[in-house]
Structure 1
Amino acid sequence: MALNRISLGFERLSFFPLLKKWRVGDVLLIPVLFLINSYIATVNHPFERQFVINDITINHPFTEHERVPNQLNVMFCLFIPIAIMALLTCILGDRKHRAYLGYVSILGLCVTFFTNELITDILKNWIGRHRPDFIARCIPRDDAPRDVLVFAKDVCTQTKKSLLDDGFRTTPSGHSSAAFSSLGYLSLWLHGQFLANHPLTGSWRKLVAIIPIICASLIALSRTEDYRHHFVDVIIGGGLGFYIGHWTYRRNFPALDSPIAFKPYLDDSDVGQEEIAVLKADSGVELDNESPLLRQRNPHTVYNTGLADSSV
């Protein structure tokens, strides 16, 4: 018998349903992502591209005090979203699934954050593009040639190797990708929890749900104001980050136009029946479980394929 590609054979374990529901694989993935990224960010050196000393695009001043330092960005992208989700889960979540909703929501955010950090840092090192303040970091020799391509090792007098190496890590913007991945995830989560796309809910819910995206945009723009990144860096970083945030969110929650968009896929409680009843009454149509309005497009439920639901 061939190995089940969905469960990879783990369905034979007596406790497999618990592993699946509580997404233990994602829990184990987080420290792996953290350890790999720690090596890449601290030990692995970026590709050192040639540059022209009098290139005006990399001759901006070095900002000593950033508008959004690294520590503050982690606060905005990880700890504040966790606090918001925990608080709203306590307020909005039904007691039947409150603990599970909070668990899956925060786990998804952590997977988003650490996945994005790893991918971003890999790209930074491989691309090796110069930051707008690169020449200020380099401190070139007075007799360094102009109008010709040079290597940093040949003309730079900067003694702090880490500062110079970081000058080659402009694309994509790490602040931007982190902001749009985590705050993008939070925005989608707020849309789902508030049912912001439901025609019976107020517009204010939509406005509240997009606040994280506005905050992410401000963080990204601050990187151009500090001359840490070019505009294209923050655009690429923002796009990459939001893609990762959307991917992680949709692994855990249904589409935003679902009447139970707030309920995780693997939540086996009966929460959400009231919302479905409202949708039935509002539409005037008898809906069954196969209706496109009710189906969550759950990747963990297989329709009309003959395969058992045994995903991890």
Structure 2
Amino acid sequence: MATASFKFPGVRQLTAYAVSFAPLYAACFASFAAFVWSELFLHPRLSKQFRTDDPAISKSYVPQETVTNAQCLAIAFPLPVVVLSWWCWLGRDALVENRYMVHSYARVRKPEWVPARWHLYHASCVVLVLVLGINGVLTNGLKLAITNARPDFLARCKPVDPTAPYVGYDQCSQSDKWILYEGLKSTPSGHSSFAAAGLGFLYVWQTHHTRVSRVRHFWCPALCFLVMVSRVVDHRHHWYDVLAGAALGAAVSGLAWTKWMREEPVEPVLPV
């Protein structure tokens, strides 16, 4: 019996498929543009004052982070994409077939010429990017609104008069404004929110679409937990910052999954 071979689609088919995802593409671009803009050009409120004898903000400043910004972003996005690629292209025998063969994901109906696994993979990556973009905007928005000092704020600030009972931005001798601004962006933890958003999405995806035991996917929350612990150990965040960040990332990931990654229900065929 001859097997049907895959016919590569034409430009019109590819264009139509891309257009169907255009709203999600635009949302991804807009959310990441807003995140980058808030990260580079918006600064926390500088009108607050802090007690110089407050032990909560008197930790030492650790220049070398255990998990850097670049490493955190790699954990949140390239790593999940690599794992998704493995399951969809190399470990596809472990996929739950009656789930990935559905007709739509991300509220986009699968054209006849698009292989089911390719549609699942593409939609999953797009939704993952959107999850991280939304998470970044919300995280930075909360950081700027709350303006909470990091545990190492006084070490960043370098008060001109360390014996003064209160210190504000104008009493800081720190010459690197970036270090000082970052010292007022403690709540919630961005590392924790990005790790929870990316790895949380990946964990739910694996438990939903593969037949592998959930225990084998436990490395996702475990890695997220290690990132959270590193932020406290490095004096970058208070304990409640990392919990708030993880809760935010998990909530964004969960809501996005509910909205865009639910399978289209199969309509029963009624007898004639």
Q: Give TM class, smaller chain.
A: 0.7 to 0.9
Distance in 2 separating the partners of 1:64 and 1:79: 25
Shift of 1:20: 9.8
1:217 Cα deviation from its structure 2 partner: 1.1
Q: List per-residue Cα deviations over 1:191-224 (Å, max 9, x = no partner).
A: 11125xxxxxxxx611123321111111111100
Q: What are the Cα deviations for residues 62-86 of structure 1, in whole angstroms up to 9, with x where unaligned? A: 1111110000111111001011101
Sequence identity (%) = 25
Q: For the residues of structure 2 that align with 1:174 and 1:100, how far apart are their CA atoms?
A: 31
**How big is the shift at 1:237?**
0.5
Select the residue among 189, 195, 199 that pairs with 1:173. Answer: 189
Q: Does 1:213 align with 2:221?
A: yes
- The answer for the alignment partner of 1:252 in structure 2 is 260
What is the match of residue 152 of structure 1?
A: 169
More helix by share: 2
The aligned runs of 1:118-197 (5 Å cut-off) are 118-142=137-161, 144-146=163-165, 149-153=166-170, 155-195=171-211
Partner of 1:58: 57
Residues of 1 paired with 2:264 and 2:172: CA distance? Answer: 54
* Preserved contact between residue 52 and residue 162 of structure 2 (Cα < 8 Å): no
The corresponding residue for 1:30 is 28
- For 1:44, the equivalent position in structure 2 comes to 42
CA offset at residue 289 of structure 1? 4.1
**Aligned partner letter, 1:30:** C
CA contact (8 A) 2:157 2:180 kept: yes
* Runs of 4+ displaced beyond 6 Å: none
In structure 1, the residue matched to 2:88 is: 89
Instruction: Check if 1:71 corresponds to 2:70.
Output: yes
Report the counterpart of residue 237 of structure 1 in structure 2.
245
In 2, distance between residues paired with 1:143 and 1:252?
Answer: 53
Which residue type is aligned with residue 75 of structure 2?
F
Aligned residue in 2 for 1:10? none
**Whole-angstrom CA distance in 1 between matches of 2:226 and 2:190:** 14
- In the superposition, relative to structure 1, how do residues 110 and 143 fare at CA in structure 2: closer, same or farther (>3 Å)? closer
**Any conservation in 2 of the 1:19–1:25 contact (CA below 8 Å)?**
no
For residues 205 and 39 of structure 2, the distance between their equivalents in structure 1, rounded to whole angstroms, comes to: 29
Q: Which amino acid aligns with 2:208?
A: G
Give unmatched runs, 5+ long, in structure 2: 1-12, 98-113
CA offset at residue 144 of structure 1?
A: 4.5
Deviations 1:137-187 (A, max 9, x none): 0011235412xx43221x210011111010000000000000111100000
Q: What CA deviation, in whole Å up to 9, does each residue of 1:70-121 have, x standing for no partner?
A: 0011111100101110111113266940110110111111011111011101
Bigger RCO (CA 8 Å, 6+ sep): 2
Aligned residues between the structures? 234
Q: Aligned letter for 1:69?
A: T
Write the letter of the residue equivalent to 1:212.
C
**What RMSD over aligned residues (CA atoms) do the two structures have, in Å?**
2.3
2:232 alignment partner in structure 1: 224
